[in-house]
Structure 1
Amino acid sequence: MTEIDELQRRITAAFDRIGQGVHMLDAAPAADALPEGALAKAEADVLRMELQAALAHSEALQDKLDGVQDKLAKAEPEISSTLVAELEEQIAKLKEANAELMAANEAMRGAESGVTIEQMDQGVVAELAALRAERAAEATEMKALLALVEGANRVASEEEST
């Protein structure tokens, strides 16, 4: 639906420009009635006016772009140092838990007389610790991503209201 609205707006703008051009042609004396230099001057004046309008439009768009970029720079949330520290801590715990899990698995693989219940218990405990550490790291990562998304939504909302 927005594409149709945009096309309608563009067609209306084109008709307006055509109407202005026809109005200018009606108001201008006939080309054969003007000397050649006056006709070139009139065309140059029209081109100059169109160029000035295009430059003004370009400046307005640049100003709007600068404003949006400023809003984005201000709204982009900085992930706090505590969140980064928490994420690093969770990653360290995850590495430690995975190392314990690998050691428990190696112990069970290397058991010559069969795996004991204690080894199986150590393996299960190590695996649970690794899973918990992984989930905690994922939760911290999601907090960081959520902060970024909320910042982007805030910028989008502010832009729509202006």
Structure 2
Amino acid sequence: MSLHRLLSSLLLSSIFMLNPVLSFAEEAATGKTYSPKYKQFEAPKENIPKYFAMEKNVVNFKGEGQAKFLAIDLKFMSYYPQIVEIEMEHLRPILKNDIDRLLRNKTYTQLKSPTGPDELRAEILKVARDILEKHNLFPDLLEDVYLERFVMQ
């Protein structure tokens, strides 16, 4: 290893040792820092989750003869109230369209598996984060999504 690479490695490791990863409480208190290419938000004053509800999503899906309809209610969670109270409300039609498209392409077998609902949650969260990013909103400000209703008929 060259002297230059060795010094670079030492420098990087010392930087990471001096700047440990913030704990969740510290991060929430100071707010997340992210690229200036995204819209910036003031750090939340309280470490209390806020929710954005999308209810009564009903679609025809690939029920494989077992079911015809999939109905879900969703709640998206963020510690940044601006994301769930303002920004996601403006994006509601886009979110509904893209999530419905995802749901229509699911099969009964995929959703009925023991990990099916959790995999669906992860896919819905990815869809929502992709939409936020396309609209210059930092996607990781959206923490999670929860299925409040999950019915196949």
More helix as a share of residues: 1
Tell me the TM-score range normalised by the shorter chain.
Answer: under 0.3
Which of the two has greater strand per residue? 2
TM-score (norm 2): 0.25
Q: TM-score when scaled to structure 1? A: 0.24
Name which one, 1 or 2, has greater alpha-carbon Rg. Answer: 1
